[in-house]
Amino acid sequence: MKSFCNLCALIPIFLASLSSGCTQGTENPEPIIPTEISITDAFPGLTFTRPVDVQHAGDERFFVVEQRGVISVVSGDLQNPEKGVFLDIESQVRDQGNEEGLLGLAFHPDFENNGYFFVNYTASSPNRTVISRFQVSASNANQADSGSGLVLLEIEQPYGNHNGGQVVFGPDGYLYTGMGDGGSGGDPQNNSQNLTNLLGAILRIDVDNPSNGMNYSIPPDNPFVNNKEGYREEIFAYGLRNPWRFSFDVENGNLWTGDVGQNRLEEINIIENGGNYGWRVMEGTQCFNPAVDCDRSGLTLPIWEYGRSAGDVSITGGFVYRGESIPQIQGQYIYGDFVSGRIWSLEVTDMDDPINTELIQVPFGLSSFGVDSNNELLLCGFDGKIHRLIIN
């Protein structure tokens, strides 16, 4: 990727390889850093090529998504872990730009019985996002059946950036997908406000009950079901620029996403059914192009945003922490910035007065967060490592 952001060409070369209510935080506050928070190598001795996602399948194994088109499986004693290839679809994946490649992995809620998992990747001729289902090998639980691929959705990508790319199963059993606005800069095609395409949106589909000749169906409570305007019924929420990592709070089901900004503001949203999150009318809480249009009616503004005065350039969405090993951040949203490496906690007990605290600054491109089966936090680094957030 030239970057998940717009300005990563200005940072060191190892980073350049990836690249509704009142909102606080347009300027970065003076950090409060609990010195006891640190990181450790989650899988000692193992390295990965541009890891952009890490998942578990409900057991003790981990699956690391490498942007080039490979999913690695990590098993065994985590003090002396073993690494193998779970799925290799590198030949199918377009990875020519810094925001393309194999970008997301989600295991079916009943994976233990059906062996299904889902991936999101970019492909060529034409350039497009592909969401596919695969199945684990019948003879080897640590290998996928590479010939089992079933395409669910293909979405044309007009440019090589802003692909979004995450796939996540919600607590409702539906598959959610994050789609960027199609790329370039400033959303020149106004895709994020155009409900007749699938760009700039969070999509929600039912993968268990295909219908109407598709390999999925539309959940009956999606916001545009049975509309007469030609709006895509897969859309759950829209008005997003590049939702780079979203997650569900395992306690209350809230859907949190980080949305990468254009030039000024990075934002955090709690996504709701039918919500319009403003892009390209708004960038965060600010009018993107006030000389043209800045009608805020019907828009949901972010719950938090931050500017770029301190070298922060590209938000990496995270998780509401529900683990037990770091009680100081219990119930807080943990997120970071890909470029600066800073990681924060956002306390939103009072949604009108969030408290943002810097926890740590890591010396690598922070591409993604993950959790283990105990909801403890993992970090994907463009230093080739998967790290674990710990307390000393």
**Res. 307: pLDDT tops 90:** yes
**Res. 7: pLDDT tops 50:** no
Q: What is the mean pLDDT of residues 74-90?
A: 95
Specify the CATH number for the domain of residue 332. 2.120.10.30
**Res. 69: pLDDT tops 80:** yes
For residue 185, give its domain range.
8-391
In a domain, 62, yes or no: yes
**Whose CA is closest to 26, among 259, 291, 289, 302?**
302
Query: What's the pLDDT score for residue 78?
Result: 87
Percent of the chain with pLDDT over 90: 86
Query: What's the pLDDT score for residue 251?
Result: 97
**Res. 95: pLDDT tops 60:** yes
In a domain, 1, yes or no: no
At residue 290 the predicted structure's pLDDT band, cuts being 50, 70 and 90, is confident
In a domain, 3, yes or no: no
In a domain, 2, yes or no: no
At residue 309 the predicted structure's pLDDT band, cuts being 50, 70 and 90, is confident
Query: What's the pLDDT score for residue 293?
Result: 78
Query: What's the pLDDT score for residue 4?
Result: 53
In a domain, 134, yes or no: yes
In a domain, 254, yes or no: yes
**Res. 198: pLDDT tops 60:** yes
Q: What's the total number of domains in the chain?
A: 1
In a domain, 219, yes or no: yes
Query: What's the pLDDT score for residue 33?
Result: 53
